[in-house]
Amino acid sequence: MTETLTAFTGHSRLITGSPADVALALKRVITDAPVLVFSDVTGRETDLDVSGSDDDIRARYGAADEPRGRGRPKLGVTAREVTLLPRHWDWLNDQPGGASAALRRLIDAARKSPEAEARTRRDVAYRFLAAIAGDYPGFENAARALYAGDRAGFEARLAPWPADVADHALKLAYG
């Protein structure tokens, strides 16, 4: 998934885009209000370094229009211990590609399930809301509606909030 970021000043959305695009835009923003930048993938607040020239920023964050090099990117494989019963190891070892490949396939399939995607979206939306709207009236009730899967109730509780915050929360929660 390509990471996008969304920047807010106060409770108004400034820009949504690639890290390079957002950093370049923030370099040009003049405001006394704090600027918060959120990952649209995780919902977490993130910092951007906007120092240096535009070329420095593009190099730091990888401009979206850069051509990709040949070959495969590094996968970032990490070895960790897994404790299973002998019958589980037997089953895994009989799978095509061995135990590691079978575990990766099982995890990928579970992550793509509608339930897992909905849970991830709710968590992302909650992290965003907790950071930017945690002090809003009705925040707790909005969070309850979000986690209950009550979209209409969630939307109703967001209605009195600033439009940019509500719209972004809905986008994160429901696409």
pLDDT in tens, 7-44: 999 889 999 999 999 999 998 887 778 899 999 999 99
CB 124 within 8 A of CB 110: no
* Among 61, 83, 103, residue at a domain's last position: 61
One domain, residues 129 and 140: yes
Q: Is residue 19 part of a domain?
A: yes
Q: Is residue 68 part of a domain?
A: no
Its domain, for residue 57, covers 5-61
pLDDT of amino acid 66:
47
Q: Is residue 136 part of a domain?
A: yes
Q: Is residue 142 part of a domain?
A: yes
| Tokens describing residue 73 | 């990117």
pLDDT of amino acid 155:
97
Dihedral of CA 175/12/44/123: which sign?
A: negative
pLDDT of amino acid 112:
82
β 12-17/35-39 pair status: unpaired
One domain, residues 127 and 145: yes
pLDDT of amino acid 165:
96
Q: What is the number of other CB atoms lying within 10 angstroms of the CB of residue 97? A: 10
pLDDT of amino acid 65:
47
pLDDT of amino acid 71:
47
| Tokens describing residue 46 | 């993130």
**Kindly report the CA angle at 7 between 5 and 11, in degrees rounded to 5?**
140
Number of domains observed in the structure of the chain: 3
Which residue type, as a one-letter code, is found at position 34? Answer: P
Q: Is residue 69 part of a domain?
A: no
Nearest 5°: phi and psi at 38? -120, 145
Mean pLDDT by 10 residues, the chain (175 residues): 87 93 88 88 92 90 57 63 87 86 86 88 96 94 96 97 96 94
* R_g over Cα of the chain: 21
| Tokens describing residue 98 | 């061995």
CB 102 within 8 A of CB 108: no
pLDDT of amino acid 100:
83
